[in-house]
Amino acid sequence: MIAHIVSTGDEVLLGDLVDTNASFLCTALKEMGIGVQKIIAIGDDVDVIVSTIGDISLQADICLVTGGLGPTKDDLTSFACSKAADDRLVLHKDALESMRLYFLKRGLRLEKRHEKQAILPSGSKILTNHNGTAPGFYITINKCLFVFMPGVPSEMKMMFETEVKKVLAETFNLSNEILIERLTVFGLPESKVGFLLNDFETNFPEMRLGFRAGFPVIEVKIVVYDTLHNEKKSQSDLGKAKQWVIERLGENIVSPQGLSMAQEVGRLLVQQKKTLAVAEACTGGLISNMMSDVAGCSEYFKFGAAACSDYAKITILNVQEETISEYGAVHEKTALEMAQGVRHKADTDFGVATCGIASPGEGIEGKQVGTVCIGLAGPSVLEAKTYRFAFADRHLNKKMFAVTALDLLRNHLAKQS
Amino acid sequence: MIAHIVSTGDEVLLGDLVDTNASFLCTALKEMGIGVQKIIAIGDDVDVIVSTIGDISLQADICLVTGGLGPTKDDLTSFACSKAADDRLVLHKDALESMRLYFLKRGLRLEKRHEKQAILPSGSKILTNHNGTAPGFYITINKCLFVFMPGVPSEMKMMFETEVKKVLAETFNLSNEILIERLTVFGLPESKVGFLLNDFETNFPEMRLGFRAGFPVIEVKIVVYDTLHNEKKSQSDLGKAKQWVIERLGENIVSPQGLSMAQEVGRLLVQQKKTLAVAEACTGGLISNMMSDVAGCSEYFKFGAAACSDYAKITILNVQEETISEYGAVHEKTALEMAQGVRHKADTDFGVATCGIASPGEGIEGKQVGTVCIGLAGPSVLEAKTYRFAFADRHLNKKMFAVTALDLLRNHLAKQS
């Protein structure tokens, strides 16, 4: 089965927008067992849209098109589709009704000027838009099923999940029972993860493995198609595959549930009824920001100090002046005192601290860019470690330092539970 | 002139990677006055690459292709190009020499196994790769100039800037003297910015205006082509256009030099020899993280406190217990005391503080999600303001709150200078 994806709209061609819709649809189709052969982005130009649809109608079996369904004059998709399909445009009753209901729910009335969005090729069937006004539609042209969706990502995604999946499953007789497990991994480059898992498909030929790198954490995804419609068996197979992956990657598994590093640390803290404060020199607030990105964090994340100056380290975190003058601002001893200091100040169970060199120009004698010292203080732990990374980029170093610090705490917590 | 862009590589079609190369190239071509008609992404499949090149060779004048130039067996671009051009592959002397020099600079030797990357169509000319091993090349097929570049963004961008621009300018007789001004804007939706500037091109017909939204800040770009090769005149025209934009957008201009909010606040602090500390409740470290993303920030950014608990607000930032019990954790009075407290603790000139509600579930009686109180304390300022935004998303609210807080300080500093 050959699938193509078409994104329409001048924004993408002008470089003002990166096309994330296509990436979402590729992943979603892959999970249904459908491979994409080509992605095409074109502007709001009727002739180009018509000829693109015409070409694809002879080459592909499925084509998902996004964009150009709105009310303004540069929304040309429906008109172009009718030309390519050699079909006439009609005021589509079902589309109008679907729009009327959308407005009704919001206490609004459908006005005449909205009607353009319900003018569709007569041979098309409509797809409800739960997150916006313009309905989608689908129609077969030559050998290809064309599905037209809005370009706004939230509208498109909702329409794909609730409407399009069903249409594709029915038309192509696909099993749309898909079971997925996600695991997050840290501390290995993607190539190493791939290498460690490279005989996965030999062991589990009925499953697929996917990776998504979100530096510096990697998400490993295991997908199984429940073709036998025996969810219990599929679930148990998936469990075995997951166990196999966990054994291969060991301590590098952050979360077998696919949680982010901050979510997993939060989960462990809640489970163990513990609280956390952090003191950050080189990461400058990034760890705090990551922890506070998780809703409900105030239950366990109590305080973060971005202590960029020695003055703040000494007066607010109670680091000994002599420690800094004797060992320097980037040292395990300093990291340890920062961790103890912030733990004490905020009266939490754990304190985590970072000091290091994130970018050139912050050079401290004898210390290389990419060096970080991490301190961890808690009820039964008091340790500091030094790591050295090789990034020249400030943002990459900050991220790597922050996730490494949280990983040290995560490993400690995991051993307690 | 019709330009197409082709990205090759299975990663994009599998949804594992969002294609940012195409977006970069669209912007870069637009700045040269070349519009892109179509972007195509295809996998590592020889037949598809050959037929895609063949089709484009009859439709477009320029085609930029990225990816598939590496040493592994799924790097098929050169082979596919030779098939489409009906040309033979040769071990290309210039390409080999360019690779030898690349290795030499790094004290390495070119090995036999690297040679595949120098096997190119005999009619092609090479493009030096300054950031990697695989050279690029260009060749005319039918009516179209094809330019092949690596898929690694850092290699591709460097090759485009240093090599490809020249080739395009010479081949198509373009002026490649382009002058650009960038301005950053905050506090207006993109549609409003577009509306306020909508007669720009009537006033400055020889210039182009571009927008790039990086929530919640918008970058406005003015581009002028120095077709007369009179840089002084072009520069003065550009200055007039910039002044026109500044007058239209007024206080919403963050930086007429295109600096980010944190960079501009840093610049003003350095200029006025002032220092800053921040206290964050609802933004949880995001402001600190933004400030510390700027290299050299330790000169003026001294301390950040992510005070998520009332305990930390009271004991570390010296907020009065009665203030919180009487007015609540989200109140202008609390924000003000936090700003004063952190300023005093860190001994800085300015203190900025945030308290608010970033996501549902943090509900505090009578306070809506999206509400934030911002406090500002400094040598001649002591004020607090309440803002209300309508985002349902925690991350959007955090970003909006953080940038709004820095904007309050920026406006104050701008009035002093």
Report pLDDT digits (tens) over B281-295.
999 999 999 999 999
| Alpha carbon of B93: minimum distance to chain A alpha carbons (Å) | 32
Tokens 């239950």 label which residue? A299
Same domain, A167 and A302: no
C-alpha torsion sign, points A358, A364, A369, A375: negative
Task: Determine the pLDDT at residue B114.
Answer: 83
Q: Which residue of A has its CA nearest to B7?
A: A39
Interface membership of B293 toward A (CB under 8 Å): yes
pLDDT confidence tier of residue A319, bands split at 50, 70 and 90: very high
Model confidence at A406: pLDDT above 80: yes
Residue by residue, DSSP assigns A260-327 as -HHHHHHHHHHHTT--EEEEESTTTTHHHHHHHTSTTGGGTEEEEEEE-SHHHHHHTT---HHHHHHH
Is the domain of B163 the same as that of B197? Answer: no
Please tell me whether residues A31 and A160 are part of one structural domain.
yes
Average pLDDT over residues A387-410: 92
pLDDT at B364: 62
Angstroms from A296 CA to nearest CA on chain B: 7
Which residues 193-222 of chain B have a CB within 8 Å of chain A?
210-213
In a domain, A260, yes or no: no
Mean pLDDT in chain A? 91
Could you say which of B122, B154, B172 is where a domain stops?
Answer: B172
Number of domains in chain B: 3
For residues B11 and B150, membership in a common domain is answered with yes
Q: How confident is the model at residue A227 (pLDDT cuts 50, 70, 90)?
A: low
Kindly report the CATH number assigned to the domain that includes residue B337: 3.90.950.20
The pLDDT score that the predictor gives to residue B365 is 62
Whether A264 is covered by a domain: the verdict is no
Pair B268, B138 in one domain:
no
Q: B140-160 burial, b for 16+ CB within 10 Å, e for fewer?
A: ebeebbbbbbbbbeebbbbbb
Last residue of a domain, one of B220, B255, B290: B255
Q: Are residues B405 and B273 in the same domain?
A: yes
Range list of β-strands (E), B241-400: 253-255, 276-280, 301-307, 350-356, 371-378, 381-388
Question: What is the rounded CA–CA span in Å between residue B223 and residue B12?
Answer: 31
pLDDT single digits (tens) B241-283: 999 999 999 999 999 999 999 999 999 999 999 999 999 999 9
Within-domain flag for A243: yes
- Does residue A363 surpass a pLDDT of 60? no
Task: Please indicate, yes or no, whether residues B221 and B319 belong to a single structural domain of this protein.
Answer: no
User: How close is the nearest chain A Cα to the Cα of B27, in Å?
Assistant: 5
Chain A residues close to B362, C-beta within 8 Å: 295, 298
| A262 occurs within a structural domain | no
Retrieve residue A77's tokens: 């998709």
- Does position B363 have pLDDT exceeding 60, yes or no? no
3-state secondary structure of A161: helix
Within 8 A of A211 by CB-CB distance, chain B residues are 16
Torsion of CA A221, A222, A225, A231, to 10 degrees: -110
Residue B397 has pLDDT above 60, yes or no: yes
Identify which of A302, A312, A310, A265 has the alpha carbon closest to the alpha carbon of residue A414: A265
B 394-413 residues with CB < 8 A to A: 394-395, 398
> Is residue A138 domain-shared with residue A11, that is, in the same domain?
yes
The DSSP bridge partners found for residue B301 are: B276
Q: pLDDT tens-digit profile of B165-197?
A: 999 999 988 765 678 899 999 998 777 888 899
Q: How far is B316 from chain A (nearest CA, A)?
A: 7
A293, part of any domain: yes
Q: How far is CA A218 from CA A294, A393, A398, B217, B399, in A?
A: 19, 19, 17, 29, 25
Question: First vs last Cα of chain A: how many Å apart?
Answer: 48
Of A288, A295, A309, the CB nearest to B285: A288
In a domain, A33, yes or no: yes
pLDDT at B175: 65
Are A13 and B39 a contacting pair at CB < 8 A?
A: yes
Contact B306 A288 (CB under 8 A): yes
**Residue A238 is part of a domain; what is its CATH number?**
3.30.70.2860
A115 shares a domain with A248: no
Please tell me the least confidently modeled range out of A263-267, B110-114, B353-357: B110-114
Token pair 């400690």: residue:
A412
CB B46 within 8 A of CB B73: no
Give bridge partners of residue B225 from the DSSP assignment.
Answer: B178
Task: State chain B's mean pLDDT as an integer.
Answer: 91
Q: Do B325 and B345 sit in the same domain of this protein?
A: yes
- Condensed to tens digits (0 to 9), the pLDDT of residues A30-53 reads 888 888 999 999 998 999 999 999
In percent, how much of chain A has pLDDT > 90? 69
Query: Which residue of chain A has the CA closest to B288?
Result: A285
**Of B255, B286, B310, the domain-final residue:** B255
Q: How far apart are alpha carbons A367 and A375 in whole angstroms?
A: 17
CA distance A133 to A111: 12
User: Has residue A159 got a pLDDT over 90?
Assistant: yes
Residue A3 to residue A172: CA distance in whole angstroms? 12
Rounded Cα gap, residues B108 and B102, in angstroms: 9
| CATH number of the structural domain spanning residue B144 | 3.40.980.10
Tell me the C-alpha distance between B58 and B124, whole Å. 18
Structure tokens at A105: 């729910």
Average pLDDT over residues A259-285: 98
Q: Which residue has the higher pLDDT, A130 or A175?
A: A130
d(CA A192, CA A190): 5
Tell me the chain A residues in contact with residue B347 when contact means C-beta distances shorter than 8 Å.
Answer: 311, 315
Q: Retrieve residue B307's tokens.
A: 């005070």
- Enclosing domain of residue A203: 178-255
The answer to the question of residue A265 being in a domain is: no
User: Whole-model pTM?
Assistant: 0.79
Q: Cite the beta strand spans of A118-177 per DSSP E.
A: 119-121, 125-127, 136-141, 144-149
User: Is residue A389 situated within a structural domain?
Assistant: yes
**What is the ipTM, given to two decimal places?**
0.78
Q: Please indicate whether, in this complex, the C-beta atoms of B346 and A311 are within 8 angstroms of each other.
A: yes
A296 in B contact zone (CB under 8 Å): yes
Q: Specify the amino acid at residue B329.
A: A
> Smallest Cβ distance to B38: which of A41, A212, A283?
A41
Measured between beta carbons, the chain B residues lying within 8 angstroms of A359 are: 295
Q: Any CB–CB contact under 8 A between A72 and chain B?
A: no
The span from the CA of A45 to the CA of A52, in Å, is: 11
Residues B75 and B208 in one domain: no
Of A8-17, A203-212, B125-134, B286-295, the range with the highest mean pLDDT is: B286-295
- And the tokens for A214? 């979100």
Contact A288, B390 (CB under 8 A): no
The phi, psi pair for A255, rounded to 5°, reads -150, 125
Average pLDDT over residues B219-232: 79
Same domain, B403 and B300: yes
A176 pLDDT higher than 60: no
pLDDT digit string (tens) for A4-33? 999 998 878 877 677 889 989 998 998 888
Tokens read off for B402: 């953080």
Query: Which tokens sit at A118?
Result: 């319900």
For B314, the closest chain A residue by CA position comes to A346
Q: Which of residues 244-273 of B touch A (CB under 8 A)?
A: none
Residue A183: band (very low, low, confident or very high) from pLDDT cuts 50, 70, 90: very high
